[in-house]
Amino acid sequence: MDTEFEFDFDRQEKKSKRNKLIVRIILWIVASSIAIFLGWLFTVVALEKTNMVGSGMEPTLSDDDIIIVNRMAYLLSEPERFDVIVFNKSGKEHSYYACRRVYGLPGEKIRVTDGNLYVNGIMIDEPINVEPMITAGLFEEDVLLDEDEYFVLGDNRNDCEDSRYFNFGNVTKDEIIGEAFISISPFSIISKLNLKTNENDEE
């Protein structure tokens, strides 16, 4: 006696499509979860919010301005001249975050003469609007920076503390938190603030 075997191809095809759909949904959920986690991780680890303390960076930044710090900026590279950095002045009477602009890099000779800054004997052409320095402080003569030291200045040259003064000093690499990236209010990219106007752009 022959037994007839019938296979429901339609039912099997529907089941296969349903399984594929379930797999796609699971993969989408996993991918979305990973993206959300990486976004959260980047926000928590890579960026930090702090406030500008004092008037040392005016007119670029004012006291109590909210700053977003890029903590990842110097993981694979070193601070560059004219970068605006945020650092922790540890080991002083009080520990606090400060914000200044980098001018002298490790191993360079720094001197302030007639209100101008000289690096390795060459006068620096300022990219920003600042007043000539009235006080040279500790840098009336060439001072050689150590291999982990950065010479920093405030944009408010004649009314701030910076590397020219003993109680502030040079900034070491391990004190640097990151690069001052964004000013929240008003919203601005900090590296674009207070730049000298190109004469060719003026009419």
3-class DSSP string for the chain:
CCCCCCCCHHHHHHHHHHHHHHHHHHHHHHHHHHHHHHHHHHHHHHEEEEECCCCCCCCCCCCCCEEEEECCCCCCCCCCCCCEEEEECCCCCCCCEEEEEEEECCCCEEEEECCEEEECCEECCCCECCCCCCCCHHHCCCEECCCCEEEEECCCCCCCCCCCCCCCCCEEHHHEEEEEEEECCCCEEHHHCCECCCHHHCC
pLDDT of residue 76: 86
Matching CATH number, 52-195, of 2.10.109.10, 1.20.120.140, 3.40.50.1820, 2.30.40.10: 2.10.109.10
What digits encode the pLDDT tens for the residues 129-167? Answer: 999 999 999 999 999 999 999 999 999 999 999 999 998
Average pLDDT over residues 2-11: 58
What digits encode the pLDDT tens for the residues 79-130? Answer: 999 999 999 976 555 567 899 999 999 999 999 999 999 999 999 999 999 9
Q: How confident is the model at residue 74 (pLDDT cuts 50, 70, 90)?
A: very high
